[in-house]
Amino acid sequence: MRRTGRVLRAAALALALPCLLVAVWWLASDSSTSFYAPPLRTILGRFDDTWTPDRLRDDVLPSVLRLLAGYAVAGVAGVGLGIVIGASRRTRAVCEPALEFLRAVPPPVLVPVIMLFAGIGDTMKITVIASGCVWPVLLNTAAGVRAVDEVAADTARSYGVTGPARLRHLVLPAASPQIFAGLRQALSIGVILMVISEMYASSSGLGFAVVEFQRSFAVPEMWTGILVLGLLGVALSVLFRIVERRALGWYHGSRGARRKAGGGGA
Amino acid sequence: MLEVKGLRKVYEGSGRRVEALRDLTFRLDAGELVCVVGPSGCGKTTLLKCVAGLLAPTEGSVTLDGVPVTGPRPGLAVVFQEYGRSLFPWMRVTENVELPLRQRKMPRDARRARVSEALDAVGLGDVGRAYPWELSGGMQQRVAIARALAYEPDVLLMDEPFAAVDAQTRADLEDLVRGLWRRRGMTVLFVTHDIDEAVYLGERVLVLSPSPTVVREEVVVELPAERDQLTTRADVRFTGLRSRVLGLIRDGGGAADQVSKAGRSGSGSDS
């Protein structure tokens, strides 16, 4: 019973500010006569008609699939390269300056370049998403791999845990808190790049839909598109947190145990 | 058996040379329990890592059954002081104990049996499902000992294993180690900075000098095999031995000189 109460209170706390913001928007815009900023009432009134099942299938689904594909590519490549780079001091020294440069290039400027090579189809969009998402994953993985505990590494070595087993049982789990931090950053970058890649030469997707509404002066519909994007972001973030809680249960548990012990001990 | 000859270790880095070990020579017979005791900072951990094959010596050699130790090898298990870092927090207790056996490609059923037997031996038969960080410090070190036992080593190396647990737990763990040693008959090299612990546990105590480190003296512990926290520690032979070891460590060369004058064989008096 107490647990349910706590969950309810947490939910109430989390929802309080969004509700307030919606209320403020609603009241402030209610008497708006501006063509570009219609009342929230009007925007929500158009929501159902705009985001029909057909449109969800034709615009939202392709967007999400491209995002997931690009994100997956970035995840695999970022973790893989991060392990290679983090494992040896020499590769790190060689790669670091180049990595800093590549990371500093804002991913959206790559869209025109990638279009030249990959055309304007799904490949281009997935490449854009992957090329932006890969950096936080890579850099965080490399940092996590570098920080593998010395005693843990000695233990693995003295018990003959080497090669692929070492990677699986020591390096990846030890780096996983950092890997997840990178994946979290990558997710928000991915959503941004998903929209941007669809604003260039495209015929479907959420970004395309928003631009299309704007160009045809369907202003309330454009606003609904932005709301859909926001909701998609929230849904992905909640999903991510659920996965992270499961994968890093040991990490949060051990940190909690250490805090309870007063920061001392092991 | 385990033979250390002329072991020297110099750390070199950023223009600084630190001679951690100067010249260590000693041997352990099969089935012996020998404690190494020395002042803090005398390179005890370095010695243990060289014996474990985790560090390459600068000079000298470590041989196990006549075979030079050039890297970690089966038949040799290590229990580290920092149990919280040596046990993997992402694995449950059984998985931690089981990991080295999985690496040996031992069949699953045999593995499970070995793991539960090892956990029973350290008195932790019922916590296999827990994560290490859910246990107390003493229990975590028991898990680390169980992991070493399940590995069935010929030689067990222990690096100040009880330095981070409270006194009562420490006494229990000392008795546990001695009991396991007597039952299993493996060779144990036990490194500690605690003189009482060294005398209580060991058949022999190797006393190290401050850095640069040599073996100052080998003290044979003439105490009955059956030891007990109350009676053994009150035994005059025990108190005599601990005073002697304490003297060797505290007064350094002076005491050692006196001892050699008294006709005892003191090794490594080149300082």
pLDDT of residue A107: 84
Searching chain A, which residue's CA lies closest to the CA of residue B104? A160
Average pLDDT over chain A reads 90
Q: Do B103 and A154 touch (CB under 8 A)?
A: no
Q: Do A158 and B134 touch (CB under 8 A)?
A: no
Q: B138 and B165 in contact (C-beta within 8 Å)?
A: yes
Return d(Cα B22, Cα B250) in angstroms, integer.
Answer: 19
Measured at the alpha carbon of residue A15, what is the angle toward residues A12 and A17, in degrees to the nearest 5? 115
Picking from A71, A50, A69, A30, the residue whose alpha carbon sits closest to that of residue A228 is A50
DSSP B186-238: -EEEEEES-HHHHHHH-SEEEEEPSSSEEEEEEEE----SS--TTHHHH-HHH
Picking from A22, A24, A60, the residue whose alpha carbon sits closest to that of residue A44 is A22
Return d(Cα B124, Cα B265) in angstroms, integer.
Answer: 44
Residues in chain A within 8 Å Cβ distance of B80: 151, 154-155
pLDDT of residue B252: 61
Q: What is the pLDDT of residues A137-186, one digit of tens each?
A: 999 999 999 999 999 999 999 999 999 999 999 999 999 999 999 999 99
Share of chain B above pLDDT 70, in %: 93
Residues 6+ away with beta carbon under 8 Å from B176 = B122, B123, B142, B145
Residues in chain B within 8 Å Cβ distance of A155: 78, 80, 86
Interface test with B, best of A154, A170, A178, A260 (most B CBs within 10 A): A154
Distance from B105 to chain A by nearest Cα, in Å? 11
Interface residues of chain A, partner chain B, Cβ below 8 Å: 149-152, 154-155, 157-161, 165, 169-170, 173-174, 176, 250-251, 253-254, 257-258, 265-266
Instruction: Answer whether residue A262 shows pLDDT above 70.
Output: no
Return d(Cα B78, Cα B145) in angstroms, integer.
Answer: 9
pLDDT of residue B15: 79
Q: What is the pLDDT of residues A88-135, one digit of tens each?
A: 888 888 988 888 888 888 888 888 888 888 888 889 999 999 999 999
Searching chain B, which residue's CA lies closest to the CA of residue A174? B90
Searching chain A, which residue's CA lies closest to the CA of residue B92? A250
Interface test with B, best of A159, A178, A252 (most B CBs within 10 A): A159
Residues in chain A within 8 Å Cβ distance of B133: 250, 253-254, 257-258, 266
Give me the residues paired with residue B76 across strands: B155
Instruction: Answer whether residue B263 shows pLDDT above 60.
Output: no
Cβ atoms within 10 Å of A220's Cβ, excluding its own: 20
Q: Do A170 and B85 touch (CB under 8 A)?
A: no
Q: Do B72 and A250 touch (CB under 8 A)?
A: no
ipTM, 2 decimals? 0.86
Q: Between A203 and B117, name the one with better pLDDT.
A: B117
User: pLDDT tier at A14 (50, 70, 90 boundaries)?
Assistant: confident
Distance from B77 to chain A by nearest Cα, in Å? 7
pLDDT of residue A265: 44
Distance from A10 to chain B by nearest Cα, in Å? 26
Of the partner residues B90, B140, B151, the one whose CB lies closest to the CB of residue A159: B151
Q: What is the pLDDT of residues B71-95, one digit of tens each?
A: 998 889 999 999 999 999 999 999 9
DSSP B62-83: EEETTEE--S--TTEEEE-S-H
Distance from B271 to chain A by nearest Cα, in Å? 32
Mean pLDDT of A36-64: 90
Q: Between A215 and A1, name the one with better pLDDT.
A: A215
